[in-house]
Amino acid sequence: MNDFLFTQILTELEEAVGRENCSVREIDRLTHSVDYFWLSRMWADRGRHMPEADFVVSPKDAQETSKVVKIANYYKLPVTTWGGGGGTQGGAIPVCGGILLDTKRMDKIYEINEEGMYIECGAGTIYKHLEWAANERGYATMHYPSSLNCSTVGGFLAHRGIGVVSTKYGKIDDMVLRMEVVLPNGDIIHTSPAPKHAAGPDLNQIFIGSEGTYGIITKAQMRIYEQPEARRFRGFLFKDMHGAFMAGREILQKFKPSVMRLYDDAETASLIKKIVGVEKPGAFMNVAYEGVKELVDVEERILLDTFKKYGAEDLGSEYGEKWWKEKITFFYPGHMMDLPQMFGTMDTIAPYDKIEKIYLAMKKAVESNFPQAKFIAHFSHWYEWGCMIYDRFIIEGKDVPQDPEEAMRLHNAVWTLGVRTAIENGGVVNDHHGVGIKLGRLMKEQYGPAMQVFEGLKKSLDPNGIMNPFKLGM
């Protein structure tokens, strides 16, 4: 772009959001070019610049966001929305340059509605700050992902995120009542006043998971919950995974634990041993149940009786409590995988009749085609009908090419094979990290002709294709 046009657009954006909230400085462009995606980190680690936006803007609300989007539409500039940059799929990286729209100034707590049990907030609110606002009134958000500290309300909605107590309280898409969204043409819309209705398809669910490709979420009403009277933990060791799946499935027919995490033998012997201290071989399962104390007493009895039938060794409450205390420690440097290692989480989800088969097929495919890769998994977020696999591959630094292009080749090959195997065996491209640029190529393989529904929406809402190009396979 020539200097003249560049400056012209800059002044228009400055007028829209205020000069101090519009930047072309290198520090802002650089820090918005690397998110939590392994490839972006590797690229920077090798001293290479990731694609940077030309302009970084921070609107304070929907009105300012609308002005930015209108300018972008006129000049046909890409707009990439950035919340916390904590996404793992490269969704927030401005791969085509243009405008990077950071939502974090939209962090106002508009209302804490104790009668309706929700908080209305700006979509750029860091979820931990929402939790603090709930805690100050004696409530909780019950959305506890490991990125609670760093990711935004809008980011979780745009990615269909999930937290550790989801089995009882649900995914982010179960926790939102209403949203305000700025469409690609600058119109500001609101979804229906209540999430459950028979007034046509659910507008919320069209924008949830759309990763900034259909519009920008600017405000949301998020549910809050009473703090549980009791929260108890119990650790179990299963001899084999099959018994553990069956036990978990049976429990879900009876009641909903808050936490339910089953670690395969490899993850039990590595991460769980290191952080929680379980030394014995087998598959560790951590269960938490919570709520009104009398109900928790009953749930505990049902849990112990059910798991006993499947031969689970009861490890008591100590490991579970330690796990709860350490649940985010796993993600700090020194505890978490980090460069020079190559790693990735290929989370997928399926009904109980397929989940074990998918796990075994993915493990076999990755380990036999990439003998340098280790494959570990845990199963969290259980439903009455199935559960999700949080499976990871890890390649030690010595086996990761130093050359960034070669490293990208290896990375993408492992991912393609792993996710394709999941799809072929009845799984979904992703469970809760989203698609981004990382998995866009596999969306058509997943959906086939159904993809035209997404594409049709995209074409009519965003005819100039400015919103987050090359993400979500669109």
Partner 1 sequence: MNMSVRAKETIDACRFCWMCRHICPIGRATGQERNTARARALALSMVERGAEKLNSVAENLYECALCNACTHDCLTGWEPPAFTLEARREAALTGAMPAAIGDLVRRCMEWGNPFAPALPEETAKALREEERPSDTLLYLGESARYKSVASVRQALAVMKKSGAGFTVLAEEPSSGYALHFLTGDTEETVAQYKKCAQVLGQFKKIVVADGNDLLVMRRYYREAGVETAAETVSLWRFLSEQAGGRLRRGMQGAFTLQESCALARDLEEDDAHALAAALGEPAEMLLHGKECVFAGSLLMNEYIPETMACVAARRLEDAARAGAERVLVCDPSEYELMRANNAHGIEIVGLAEAVLEALS
Binding residue for partner 1, selected from 70, 105, 354, 374, defined by CB under 8 A: 105
Helices 440-447 and 451-461 sit at what angle, rounded to 10 degrees? 120
What is the size of the binding site for ligand FAD (CB under 6 A)? 39
Dihedral Cα 347, 319, 336, 417, nearest 10 deg: -20
Dihedral Cα 13, 210, 220, 380, nearest 10 deg: -140
Cβ closer to partner 1: 30 or 394? 30
What is the size of the binding site for partner 1 (CB under 8 A)? 48
Q: Which two tokens stand for residue 299?
A: 């749930």
CA distances 51 to 37, 79, 158, Å, are 13, 13, 22
- The DSSP symbol for 403 reads S
Beta carbon of residue 86, minimum distance to partner 1 (angstroms, whole number): 5
Binding segment for partner 1 among 192-200, 302-310, 327-335, 450-458 (CB under 8 A)?
Answer: 327-335
Q: Using CB under 6 A as the criterion, what x/- string covers residues 48-87 for binding ligand FAD? A: --------------------------------xxxxxxxx
Q: Exposed, middle or buried, 358 (CB in 10 Å: 0-12/13-18/19+)?
A: buried
Cβ closer to partner 1: 85 or 282? 85
Binding segment for ligand FAD among 129-137, 222-230, 314-322, 428-436 (CB under 6 A)?
Answer: 428-436
Binding residue for partner 1, selected from 318, 332, 405, 459, defined by CB under 8 A: 332
Binding segment for ligand FAD among 145-153, 311-319, 411-419, 438-446 (CB under 6 A)?
Answer: 145-153
* Alpha-carbon span 47 to 11, nearest angstrom: 32
Give contact residues for ligand SF4 (rule: CB under 6 A).
332-333
Binding residue for partner 1, selected from 28, 120, 211, 267, defined by CB under 8 A: 28
Binding residue for ligand FAD, selected from 23, 141, 147, 191, defined by CB under 6 A: 147
Beta carbon of residue 155, minimum distance to ligand SF4 (angstroms, whole number): 18
Identify whether the C-beta of residue 263 lies closer than 8 Å to the C-beta of residue 236: no
Identify whether the C-beta of residue 145 lies closer than 8 Å to the C-beta of residue 156: yes
Grouping H, G, I as helix, E, B as strand and the rest as coil, residue 296 is helix
Applying CB under 6 A, does 100 fall inside the site for ligand FAD?
Answer: no
Amino acid at 340: P
DSSP tally for the chain: helices H, then strands E = 18, 19
With vertex at residue 347, the alpha carbon angle to CA 344 and CA 350, rounded to the nearest 5 degrees, is 160
Cβ closer to ligand SF4: 1 or 336? 336
Cβ closer to ligand FAD: 348 or 468? 468
The entry of ligand SF4, ligand FAD, partner 1, none that residue 235 binds, CB within 5 to 8 Å by partner kind: none
* Alpha-carbon span 222 to 80, nearest angstrom: 24
Strands of the sheet containing 99-102, edge to edge, are 22-23, 55-57, 99-102, 79-82
Give the interface with partner 1 as residue ranges (CB under 8 A): 20, 25-28, 30-32, 34, 36, 41, 44-49, 58, 82, 84-86, 102, 104-107, 124, 126, 128-129, 132-133, 135-136, 147, 149-151, 328-329, 331-335, 338-339
Binding stretches for ligand FAD (CB under 6 A): 35-36, 80-88, 91-92, 103, 123, 145-147, 150-152, 154-156, 158-159, 161-162, 211-212, 216-217, 331, 432-434, 436, 468, 471
